[in-house]
């Protein structure tokens, strides 16, 4: 216990809460949050208008499809990205993670706000964790807004209950958000420039991992168990009934793919799908490893101009 005035230390946990509170306040008032919200609303409006006007089969099912089948198709197309669609939920997760996490730490250096916060009786880890929670709250709001709009549409076309698969998918999307935010935070600790760390986050999550997944599967024939986007595949896989098989191998006559053995040279490509436990494991591993890495980088990083 401090014996002198002003020398009492505050517990790290309550400091985390403080940092979260004021960072969230800062996020919530900043233009960025509303830009993000506007992007989500734009996607939603387009989605709603498109489905309402064209009534595409991919969303609403072929006439005669039993409603229990068709409803999954709807959520798959509007949320999960099944059937060759861009996964809107992943897009929302990636954009929020990049927007709220991509410069969270680099901004403290580049904008010099760290000079206000860091030279205080507070551990750097408490600052990191507090900022991470603030970004998580802000991006969870964005994700939930999008989910509510998708659900609203779903209930309009398929009144009754929301399928449990969608509820799970939403949960998986949130786990993906947790992992992605951890990753973007690590990036923001690595770079000193805010724009570079945001850009790197978006490029990596939106393109690089996707390419890596494809190359790994189709060219090398290896399951991309090390890829965050592969793990996040469970968001859409859960909306497919029945759940896709772990490995599907197709033989191809064309000179594409790889030869299974040199003795038996016909070409095959394999498509892998992570099971739910595997997908969750990958996402949790990403969260843990990148959280530790980012924290370590931030604790070591020097405030030099």
Question: Minimum distance from CB of 188 to another protein (Å)?
Answer: 16
Euclidean distance between the first and final Cα of the chain, in Å? 36
Q: Is 195 in the site for another protein (CB under 8 A)?
A: no
Q: Which parts of 92-111 interact with another protein (CB under 8 A)? A: 111
Which of 54/115 has CB closer to another protein? Answer: 115
Establish if 303 lies at the interface with another protein (CB under 8 A): yes
The window from 81-89, 122-130, 142-150, 165-173 that contacts another protein (CB under 8 A) reads 122-130
Stretch of 5-13, 66-74, 231-239, 262-270 contacting another protein, by CB under 8 A: 5-13
Nearer to another protein, 30 or 45 (CB): 30
CB 97 → another protein: shortest distance, Å?
A: 20
To another protein, the closest distance from the beta carbon of 160 in angstroms equals 43
Closer residue to another protein (CB): 264 or 304: 304
> Residue 227's closest CA among 286, 293, 155, 287?
286
Comparing CB distances to another protein, the nearer of 124 and 260 is 124
Please report whether residue 30 would count as binding another protein according to CB under 8 A: yes
108 or 165: CB nearest another protein: 108
**Binder among 37, 91, 118, 212 for another protein (CB under 8 A):** 118
Output the smallest distance, CB 126 to another protein, in A: 9
User: Shortest gap between Cβ of 92 and another protein (angstroms)?
Assistant: 23
Distances in whole angstroms, Cα of residue 213 to Cα of each of 96, 205, 227, 244, 247: 22, 11, 7, 17, 14
For residue 19, state whether it binds another protein (rule: CB under 8 A): yes
Number of residues in contact with another protein under rule CB under 8 A? 42
Residues that bind another protein (CB under 8 A): 1-15, 18-19, 21-23, 25-26, 29-30, 111-124, 302-305
């Amino acid at each position: 216990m401090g014996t002198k005035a002003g020398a009492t230390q505050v517990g790290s946990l309550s400091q985390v809460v403080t940092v979260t509170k004021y960072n969230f306040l800062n996020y919530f008032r900043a233009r960025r949050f509303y830009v993000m919200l506007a992007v989500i609303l734009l996607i939603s409006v387009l989605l709603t208008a498109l489905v309402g006007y064209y009534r595409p089969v991919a969303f609403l099912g072929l006439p005669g499809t039993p409603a229990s089948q068709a409803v999954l198709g709807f959520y798959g197309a509007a949320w999960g990205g099944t059937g060759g669609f861009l996964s809107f939920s992943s897009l929302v997760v990636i954009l929020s993670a990049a927007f709220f996490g991509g410069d969270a730490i680099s901004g403290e250096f580049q904008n010099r706000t760290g000079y206000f916060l860091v030279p205080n009786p507070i551990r750097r880890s408490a600052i990191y964790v507090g900022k991470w929670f603030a970004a998580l709250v802000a991006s969870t709001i964005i994700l939930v807004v999008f989910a509510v709009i998708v659900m609203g549409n779903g209930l309009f076309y398929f009144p009754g209950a929301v399928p449990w698969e969608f509820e799970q998918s939403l949960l998986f999307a949130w786990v993906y958000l947790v992992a992605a935010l951890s990753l973007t935070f690590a990036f923001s600790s690595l770079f000193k420039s805010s724009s570079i760390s945001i850009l790197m986050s978006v490029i990596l999550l939106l393109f690089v991992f996707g390419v890596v997944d494809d190359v790994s599967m189709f060219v090398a024939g290896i399951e991309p168990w090390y890829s965050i986007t592969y793990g996040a595949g469970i968001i859409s896989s859960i909306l497919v009934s029945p759940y896709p098989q772990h490995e599907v191998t197709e033989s191809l006559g064309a000179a594409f793919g790889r030869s299974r053995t040199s003795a038996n040279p016909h070409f095959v490509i394999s498509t892998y799908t992570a099971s739910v436990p595997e997908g969750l494991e990958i996402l949790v591993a990403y969260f843990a490893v990148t959280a530790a890495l980012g924290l370590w980088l931030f604790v070591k990083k020097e405030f030099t101009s």
